[in-house]
Amino acid sequence: MPILKSLMTRISFVESTLCATRGIIKSISNERNIKIQILLCSIIIFFALLLNVSKTSLITIIVVCFLVIILEMFNKGFENLIDLISPEYNRDFGRIKDIMAGVVLLTFIMAALVSSLILYIPFIHFITQISKNTFSLFSLISLILLTSIILVVKLIKDKLSFN
């Protein structure tokens, strides 16, 4: 242990920050779920800014979004550790992985509920205002349809390339 401790104390703050940044980048680049969560969080935060919610509400949305991503990274690290400890399937380790995935799912549901509750009234107000202007309403509907089509095509393309 003294050797390990002396090696750990020699790592500077900058080196430690670089290691942490590398871990974040690897998580984002290698994990599909984290990419999806970052996309969803970005959309939610964009709408919160667009709808001009209070700073407290915006901070709440940012915190719950980050919590989902943080727990997903923790879950993936935990899964990788279990796979190193026991490369072959182990039912007990499988249960632990399922519990960790459940933690992420519950956190995602919480983030979705919190964000929905915060954004509901401002969104209804926004739609009410925009529906008074036909061109704005048409533009919004077109943007939503175009985005939906792009996402569906991307999902189908990814699904086909996966098989």
pLDDT digits (tens, 9 = 90+) for 104-123: 999 999 999 999 999 999 99
Terminal-residue alpha carbon distance, the chain: 48
Structural domain for 151, as ranges: 131-163
Q: Look at residue 157 in the predicted model and tell me its pLDDT.
A: 79
Q: Do 19 and 62 belong to one domain? A: yes
Q: Do 74 and 108 belong to one domain? A: yes
Q: Do 143 and 78 belong to one domain? A: no
For residue 124, tell me if it sits in a domain.
no
Q: Do 84 and 151 belong to one domain? A: no
The pLDDT confidence band at residue 4, using thresholds 50, 70 and 90, is low
How far apart (Å, rounded) are the C-alpha atoms in residues 95 and 103? 12
Q: Do 114 and 61 belong to one domain? A: yes
How far apart (Å, rounded) are the C-alpha atoms in residues 40 and 67? 13
The answer to whether 101 and 76 are in contact (CB under 8 A) is no
Greater pLDDT, 126 or 155: 126
- Residue 87 DSSP label: -
How far apart (Å, rounded) are the C-alpha atoms in residues 59 and 158? 34
HSE (CB half, 13 Å, CA atoms) of 57? Answer: 21
pTM: 0.75
- If one counts the domains in the chain, the total is 2
Q: Look at residue 148 in the predicted model and tell me its pLDDT.
A: 86
The pLDDT confidence band at residue 10, using thresholds 50, 70 and 90, is confident
For residue 67, tell me if it sits in a domain.
yes
Q: Look at residue 115 in the predicted model and tell me its pLDDT.
A: 96
